[in-house]
A = this chain, B = another copy of it.
Amino acid sequence: MDQKLASLRSQIDACDTELVAILAKRNKITAQVGQIKRDSGKPVYIPEREIELLEARRSQAQAQGVSGDLVEDILRRMMRESYQNQQSELACVAPELSPAVIIGGSGVMGQLFAKQLRRSGIEVRILDKAQYESKDEILAGAKLVLVSVPINKVEAIVESLPKLDDDCLLVDITSVKEKPIKAMMTCHSGPVLGLHPMFGPDIEHWVKQTIVVCRGRGDTKTDSLLAQLTIWGTQLVEMDAKKHDEAMQIVQVMRHLTTFVYGQFLAKQTHSLKEIKSCSSPIYQLELMMVGRLFAQSPGLYSDIMLAQFDNVESLLEDYKDIYEQTLVKLKNGDKAGLIAGFSDAKSYFSDSAESFLKQSRALLNKANDSKVLD
C-alpha cells in the first residue's frame, strides 16, 4: 500500500514539475507580448482576449472531465503574473506630458506613479522636501505636475507653487477632490484634473485597478493622461467631485469608525483572539481579518487620519447611531415585523448585488481555506 502511494505521489510530483516548466515558458512568451504591446501602443489589458482565452480553455477542460472553475481560477492567477511581466516597459501615448514633476515624489504613492510614468518613457522629476530649494528649476518647463502629498497639505502646497506654464496639466491624487481641485483651479490657469486612485502602493500591477476621475479644467492634455492610464489597464470612473467626497465619507469614515469601535470592543472581552477565532466560521474569520488588519497600522498615523476625516460627518454618525438604537429596540421588543422592514430596505439597496457578493465571497473563502496550514 505504502509503496503504491509513494508511486502515485511521484506521478503527482511529475505533473507538478511539468506545471512549473509551463509557467517558465509562459513567462517568456508574455514578456515578449509586453514588448509588442509597448511598440505598437497597445494597452496591457485587453478584455476580449481575456474572455476568449478563458472560454476556450474552459470548454477544453470540460471535454476532458476537468472543472471549468478550476481552470479559470488557475488561468486568472497566471494572468496576474502575465500583467506584472508586461509592465516593465509600457507604451507611451502621451509624450506631450514629458517632463513630468511629482510633488511628494519620495512618498510611496508618488514613487508608484513615478515608476509607472518612467516605464512609459516619460521623463519624471521628483520634487520633495529634499529638493524644495530647487523647486523653480525642477518645475521649469514641466508639462505634467502631479501632487502626491498628505491630504492636509494639498492646498498649502498648491498655493505655494510658482506660476506653471499654461499648457502644463496640474493633477492631484488625494482622497478628497472638491477642495484640491478648487485650489488648483485658483492657482493655475491651465488644465486641471483630480484623480483618486482606489489602490495603495502595494499593488502587484495596475490592470483593473480603479481610478476615480474628477474633471477640473479640461484640454487635450487631460485626454492624454487619461489615455495613458487606460494603456496601463486601469478602470476610469468619472464622477462629480462633490458626489465623490460624500461617497468617500460614507465609505471610509463610517467603515473606519465601526471597525475601530469593533476592535476596541473585542479588546474589552475576556476571550482571547485565539478563542474567538476558533469559534468563527470562515466568514467571521474573514471579518475578523478585516478588523484586525487595521491595527497593524501606527496608532498616531491612524488617529490623524480619523481626525482629518472627521469634518462635516456629524449627521452620518447620528444616522448610524439612530439605526443602531432602533434595531436594539426592535430586538428587545421581539418586533419581527420591524426587523423584516429594516432588512428589506437594505435588501433592495443591494438588490442583485447581494447574490453576486455571496458568490464572490464564497470564492474568497475557498481561497482562504486553501491557504490554511494546520498542525
CB neighbours of A290 from chain B (8 A): 283, 286-287, 290, 357, 361
Give this chain's copy count: 2
Whether B78 pairs with A70 at a CB distance below 8 angstroms is yes
The one of B73, B321, B360 that contacts A324, using a Cβ cutoff of 8 Å: B321
A residues 223-273 in Cβ contact with B at 8 Å? 235, 237, 239, 243-244, 246-248, 250-252, 254-255, 257-258, 260-269, 271, 273
The one of B255, B282, B289, B295 that contacts A346, using a Cβ cutoff of 8 Å: B295
A345 and B267 in contact, given A289-B360, A339-B307 (Cβ under 8 angstroms)? yes
How many positions in chain A have a CB within 8 Å of any CB in the partner chain?
166
CB neighbours of A366 from chain B (8 A): 80, 204
CB closest chain-B residue, reference A347: B295
A24 and B66 in contact, given A53-B13, A279-B244 (Cβ under 8 angstroms)? yes
Whether A255 pairs with B284 at a CB distance below 8 angstroms is yes
Whether A323 pairs with B261 at a CB distance below 8 angstroms is yes
CB neighbours of A261 from chain B (8 A): 320, 323-324, 327
CB neighbours of A207 from chain B (8 A): 369
Whether B66 pairs with A357 at a CB distance below 8 angstroms is no
**Other A-B pairs beyond A247-B275, A317-B328, 20, CB < 8 Å:** A1-B40, A8-B32, A9-B49, A11-B29, A24-B65, A47-B373, A70-B81, A74-B77, A77-B370, A204-B366, A212-B279, A244-B279, A247-B279, A251-B280, A252-B284, A257-B327, A268-B345, A283-B290, A299-B343, A307-B331
